[in-house]
Amino acid sequence: MTTDVRVPTLGESVTEATVATWFKKPGEAVAVDEMLCELETDKVTVEVPSPVAGTLGEIVAGEGDTVGVDALLATIAEGDGAAAPATETPAKAAAAPAASSDGASVDVMVPTLGESVTEATVSTWFKAVGDSVAQDEMLCELETDKVSVEVPAPAAGVLTEILAPEGETVAAGGKLAVMSSGDGVAAATESAAPPGKTQYDTPAAGQGGPEKDVEDAPSAKKAMAEAGISADQVTGTGRDGRIMKEDVASAIAAASAAPAPSAPVTAPRAPVSADDANREERVKMTRLRQTIAKRLKDSQNTAAMLTTYNEVDMTEVMALRNEYKDLFFKKHGVKLGFMSFFTKACCHALREVPEVNAEIDGTDIVYKDFVHMGIAAGTPTGLVVPVIRDADAMSFHAIEQAIAEKGARARDGKLSMAEMQGGTFTISNGGVYGSLMSSPILNPPQSGILGMHKIQDRPMAINGQVVIRPMMYLALSYDHRIVDGKGAVTFLVRVKEALEDPRRLLMDL
């Protein structure tokens, strides 16, 4: 008898979660209430216990997948006799009886890629045709627009055919490769190819060295190889100390004083000499970078984009922040930053100039009675824009908490597709990188984006006197098809007024 393992109730208003970690593998015996996996939502971590005793069969939602409430996670074969040897093929590929040494053919398929994601690019094959592999050993890595997906071997055996080579685009559910499985092959696998051996492993100097019990994520191995760092320089945060891709990014950031010899992310122009060619390295763009490039160019080609500028005196905001930041942190447990002031000011201005919060749909203009604020965030893999929903109805501390949480999830690569969709307006803060002035590009189908910049002391004429004030340039890029110059300038002036006199926000003026 087979029992389904489903996503439990996640809490009020929480409709989806991300599969963080599986504690069991297909074919392993489980007891009643033994923890099978862990899910992560926007606010909490949820553990999923086994509803029955038996053997874990098919895992339907792999680590990193986004799942809704009551979605199918896995299946369990009930009963004492359900348990299978560790080398047996899991339920996903073991409908046939145990094979002989000749081996049975097993297809390696593209796993579920996530909501609204229909295709991926084969990034790296860790095994070659003819290599022996163990069950659940990583075969290849796929890249989607937002995340990397690792594809494990569905059975122990030998990789006999690769149908989708590196660089090829594959659809969800497509066939990647073919394996030959069987008891004889599995035995050969154990002696010839220990788990964890990939093309990115450093060759051992001799025999008999200790093997690591926990296999690091292949994406992490690839990142370490590209950055020129070893595993002992990285602290793993995955299950049993497994090193994940985000752990490598954190280690690289911590060791910024000794930058790694990474290659440029864009293809250089044709070299002018053979000597130059030997000093260049061409690196294929990631799916995320390709998507960013395509969307930004589409935005320029589609929208009648124009940018208007102003400057804001940050004296009052800085004074208010300095006066209350300690009390704010003590009460709410989060730091009071400038982003909550800018978010509030933008929400205030959007109510007066609703066309900046609207979008074009064919020949219609869709006005929004809400503000889903996108906050652009730089990550090790590229720019992402997590969305804070109903920001216009949130308090200062709720906005700061949401920005801090989504910013951390963005840097760790744990944002779901849903968390980056549905924004109505965007704020981009180039000032954190030292930018003094820039023109942000629209995030379609939005009609407006505000660019923040560096706060710099400048001499200003105030009441006939030259005084030094902390000034920031503001830039509003807007779609001139639906936003006129008057509306854009009015929006920017209202933001300026609210920041130069924050009491206007409290009085709704």
Catalytic residue numbers, as ranges: 480, 484
CA–CA distance, 150 with 140 (Å, rounded to integer): 6
Neighbour count for residue 395 (Cβ, 10 Å): 11
Sequence-distant (6+) residues with CB within 8 A of 322 are none
Long-range contacts of 242-246 (CB under 8 A, 24+ apart): 242/214, 242/215, 242/216, 242/217, 243/216, 243/217, 244/216, 244/217, 244/219, 244/220, 245/148, 245/217, 245/219, 245/220, 245/413, 246/411, 246/412, 246/413, 246/414
Rounded to whole angstroms, how far apart are CA atoms 249 and 420? 21
Closest C-alpha among 176, 6, 1 to residue 93: 176
Which amino acid makes up residue 313?
Answer: D
Q: 208 CB contacts (<8 Å, ≥6 apart)?
A: none
Residue 163: DSSP 8-state:
S
280 near 271, Cβ under 8 Å? yes
Crossing angle between the packed helical segments 315-332 and 485-500, to the nearest 10 degrees: 70
User: How far apart are the C-alpha atoms of 269 and 323, rounded to whole Å?
Assistant: 53
Cα–Cα distances in angstroms (integers) from residue 294 to residues 135, 288, 374, 401, 413, in the given order: 38, 10, 19, 32, 21
Question: Is residue 93 within 8 Å of residue 26, measured between CB atoms?
Answer: no
Please state whether beta strands 16-22 and 35-40 pair in parallel, antiparallel, or not at all (unpaired).
Answer: antiparallel
Please, are residues 373 and 348 in contact by the beta-carbon 8 Å criterion? no
- Kindly report the length of the chain: 509
Q: What tokens were used for 147?
A: 């995340």
Q: Where are the extended beta strands (E) located within 381-434? A: 382-384, 387-388, 425-429
Report the candidate in 396, 446, 407, 460 with the shortest Cα–Cα distance to residue 429.
407
Is residue 174 within 8 Å of residue 151, measured between CB atoms? no
d(CA 244, CA 228): 16
β-bridge pairing 448-452 and 456-462: unpaired
Q: Residue 138 in contact with residue 198, Cβ under 8 Å?
A: yes
Distance CA 179, CA 130 (A): 9
Rounded to an integer, what distance in angstroms lies between the CA atom of residue 87 and that of residue 187?
A: 9
φ and ψ at 322, to 5 degrees? -65, -35
Q: How far apart are CA 162 and CA 176, in angstroms?
A: 6
Four-CA torsion 4, 9, 10, 16, nearest 10 degrees: 60
